[in-house]
Each structure stands twice: as structure tokens, then as C-alpha cells.
Amino acid sequence: MLQRMFRLRENGTDVRTEVLAGITTFMAMAYIIAANPMILAAAGMDKGAVTLATCLVSGLVTIAMGLWANYPIALAPGMGINAFFAYSICAGMGVPWQVGLGMFFVEGVIILAFTLTRLRETVINAIPFSLKCAISVGIGLFLMFIGFENAGLLESHPATFVTMAKVCRPEVWPRVALAAAVLVLTAVLLVRKVRGAILVGILAGTLLGLVPAFRAAGEAPTLLQASLAPTLFKLDILGALKLKFAVLIFTLLFVDFFDTAGTVIGLSVKAGFLDGRGRIPRLGRILAADSAGPIAGALAGTSTVTSYIESAAGIEEGGRTGLTAVVTGSLFLLAMLAAPLVGLVPAAAVAPALIIVGIMMMEPALRIDYADYSEAVPAFITIAAMPFTYSISNGIALGFLSYVLVKLFSGRGRGISPVMYVLGGLFLLFFLASPTFR
């Protein structure tokens, strides 16, 4: 039955290979089970509920991807977009997390509509390559900044805005020491190509955090009261539909757009899925399954669930069909049984995961044409603005605006697509309506 359902022979694989690939993919991305609740807690969300929602939605949508699209692509709450939601939208702008989940739901419905009408591919193709690369790099730096902050290494300063914390203080040095140990361990495991290196690092940090010498003053490990009730169906869709949130919804939509596009293309190339014309077979089904992520995540109580680049770990092990995804999704569902243990994970143990993922997102910086200042300047503004303004949306808005303006006034306006002019205009309105101009 499995042979017929997933076309194993046609794809040059077998059940054993697919199962092992599914386990490998789960090991590579299981760190999100601990990292996502830690990040969304900054939005005021219940960690136990978010943990269960992360496992439940990741499991169901990944299984749907395997059964519907027959691809070895796993999905989970996206790193970067969850930080934007927690730190920028909720903590920074004061938006209630219920309204934020409503934004994810609206964004998911729009993406699904775009996918069904094939408009998604049209918009993706209109965005300059340099800005696509810059957004990935900027989000990577943003994650690294948050990682250093969670590790206790940074603190505010009236003159320099940010500075290194005084590590000798008892509430600081245990966190820094723990994070440093986990970061070195994770890096060594990655160099040695150990599967699940990030997850192993978090587990090692959790065990180390049980030692009193590595616990900061006031911190105490506790088991979570895991229940979906605090977040299940608590989204506020009507609140999210207010006009003032339109730009935020667009930003979430944009990030989700290109995160998925880059991941799917990269994984398809790695697995050799492209046809003779360089196209991805059944791309519509992949995007349709992925489009269910934001909607299901918002309903259960987590940020956008999207395709994960860590699926490459399973592909590397030979996974070529949806059976790999079904195995990975099933393991996420089983992980719900261990949800209370996430309360034992200290923030400093997750901080290195944010730093490592940030590093992984830096590679597109090599693809930007720095010799062409009409491309390099907007790209650099996009990259720098995200961590320095502590906002992904500010980085995207400044990058798009600068791209249009630099190209236009340097005599290259004809090379800008109409879509970019529209997007640039929307971001200009975003700034004019923001508190910066009031």
C-alpha cells in the first residue's frame, strides 16, 4: 500500500529509507518545540499551550504535506516570523497576542487565495533578488541579536544604546556561561555533522541548567501545565481587520511568501525534483499544503507554520517522498506527551539555537551584487535596519523604499516592476501613518 500511495519505486527509495529520513528530519528541527514557546512567551502567551500547539499543528500540517503533495518537506512555526510577532508586534507595539493571531489567520487566508489563483508566483517573481537575499540575512542578524540578549550578554546603555552586560553579576554570569557552553557544543556537533545538533545542544543546556551553579538568581526549573485551552481558538480576527494593522498583515504575508519560496526551491534543487524545464512538479500542491500552516497555527495558538529548510537533513538521508513527511509529522504528534518538560528548558539553553539559526540565514549575503550600488545600498539598509531598529517590518519597508528611490533617481526606473512601485508606495504610507511622523 505504501509503495502505491507514495510511489516509492518511481522515486528510487524504500520504506526503510523514508522512515529513517523522517526521523532524521524530526531530530534536525525538534528544537522548535522548545524555542517557539520561549519566544512567544514574550508576547504574553502561555508556554504550555504554545508547546502543545507547536507540536499539534506541525504534526498535522507536515502529514498533510506528505499525503497531499508527496514531498519530504516538514513544517513548523517559522523562526524569524515568530520573533517579529513576539518582540515587534506584541511587545514592541503593544498589540494583544489574540489580535496578532488574527493577523496570522487573515494572512493565511490571503496566501491561500493567492496560491489558488497563481498570483503568489507572480508577486514572488517581481521582487528583486538582492532584496530577497537581504531579508534573509537581516532576519538572521535579528535572531542573533535576540539570542545574545536571551543569553544575558547584552543590556541597554544610555550613551551607546546597547552594551555588553557586566558578566560578574550573579544574575548574569550563570546564563552567559550556560549559553557559551551550549553554543560551543552545538557548533562542534555541526562541524562533525551530528544529526540533531541544535536539539542535542538544547537538551545538554537543559541538563546543565539543573546544576545550581548554572542557574541565574531567581530562576528555577518547573514542569509546565500543558493545556491548549489558553490559546485554542483565542484569535481575534475582527480586531486584526482594523485598517491600522494592514501594513503589519502585509509584512507577515511578505515574510511568509519568501520564506516558503526560498525553502521549497532550495529543497527541490537539493533533492533533484526539478523537471526538464527547471520547474517543480506539483508546486501548486506544495504551496496549498504550506498555506494551511498560518491558518491552522492561528486557530491552535502559535505563529505561522511554514516549510522548514531543516527538511534537507532528511533529504540528505535519502528521503524522496511524502512518507518521510508523514513520519516526521507523526513524531511531532508523539512529542505532545513530553510538552510539560519544556518548562525545564532555561532561556539561556535556547539562546544558542537562535544564534546558530541566525548564522544559517547569512549565506544569501554572498549572492548580493555589492559592485552595483543600486542593489547593494537598499540591500544593506534592509539588513542593518532589522537588528538596529529591532523590527523586521522597518527593515523591509526601508529596503523597499530605498530600492525604488535609488533606482528611480539614478536613471534606472524603467527596470523596476510595477509591483515594486506599488509596494514602495504602501511602505511610504506605512511610515507616514506610523508614530515616527506624529
Please write down the HEC assignment for all residues of 187-220.
HHHHHCCCCCHHHHHHHHHHHHHCCHHHCCCCCC
Average pLDDT of every residue of the chain: 85
Burial classification of residue 342, based on how many CB atoms lie within 10 Å of its CB (0-12 exposed, 13-18 middle, 19 or more buried): buried
Confidence of residue 72 (pLDDT cuts 50, 70, 90): very high
Beta carbons of 397 and 430 less than 8 angstroms apart: yes
Between residues 294 and 131, the one the model is more confident about:
294
- Average pLDDT over every residue of 51-75: 94
Torsion of CA 20, 23, 29, 31, to 10 degrees: -140
CB proximity list for 293: less than 8 A, separation 6 or greater: 57, 61, 75, 108, 304, 305, 306
Secondary structure in 3-state letters for 125-153: HHCCHHHHHHHHHHHHHHHHHHHHHHCCC
Q: Regarding predicted confidence, which is higher, 150 or 208? A: 208
Helix axes 418-433, 119-126, angle to 10 degrees: 80
Please give the average per-residue pLDDT across 135-148, as a whole number: 82
The CA-to-CA distance between both ends of the chain, in Å, stands at 64
Residue 136 has pLDDT above 70, yes or no: yes
**Residue 155 pLDDT > 60:** yes
Nearest C-alpha neighbor of 311 from the set 6, 53, 32 = 32
Q: What is the pLDDT of residues 404-428, one digit of tens each?
A: 999 999 988 888 888 888 878 877 8
Cβ-based burial of 123 (10 A; exposed 0-12, middle 13-18, buried ≥19): middle
CA 434 to chain centre: 25
- Measure the CA angle with vertex 80, ends 335 and 204; round to 5°: 45
Q: What angle do CA 203, 209, 213 make, to 5 degrees?
A: 150
pLDDT-derived band at 395 (thresholds 50, 70, 90) equals confident
Distance CA(294)–CA(102), nearest Å, equals: 10
| Helix/strand/coil percentages in the chain, nearest 5 | 70, 5, 25
What is the rounded (10 degree) CA torsion for 298, 301, 302, 306? -40
pLDDT digits (tens, 9 = 90+) for 317-374: 788 999 999 999 999 999 998 888 777 778 788 788 878 878 877 888 888 899 999 9
- Cβ atoms of 58 and 334 within 8 Å: the answer is no
- Largest Cα–Cα separation, the chain: 67
Band of the pLDDT at 154, cuts 50, 70, 90?
confident
Q: What is the pLDDT of residue 216?
A: 67
Q: Looking at residue 69, what DSSP letter applies?
A: H
204 C-beta neighbours (distance < 10 Å), count: 18
Q: Which is nearest to 123 in space by CA: 135, 111, 134, 133?
A: 111
What's the CA angle centered on 137, arms 89 and 172, to 5 degrees?
65
- Binned at pLDDT 50, 70 and 90, residue 135 comes out as confident
Q: What is d(CA 53, CA 34) in angstroms, rounded to the nearest whole number? A: 12
pLDDT digits (tens, 9 = 90+) for 234-246: 999 999 999 888 8
**CA pseudo-torsion sign 107, 108, 114, 120:** positive
Residue 363 has what pLDDT? Answer: 83
Q: DSSP character for 302?
A: -
The lowest-confidence range among 140-149, 152-161, 164-173, 262-271 is 262-271
pLDDT more than 70, % of the chain: 93
Residue 416, number of CB atoms within 10 A of its CB: 16
Q: How far is CA 424 from the centre of its chain?
A: 24
How far apart, in whole angstroms, are the C-alpha atoms of residue 294 and residue 288? 11
Amino acid residing at 120: R
Of the ranges 145-149, 216-220, 286-290, which one carries the lowest mean pLDDT score? 216-220
pLDDT band of 123, cuts 50, 70, 90:
low
What pLDDT is recorded for position 36? Answer: 93
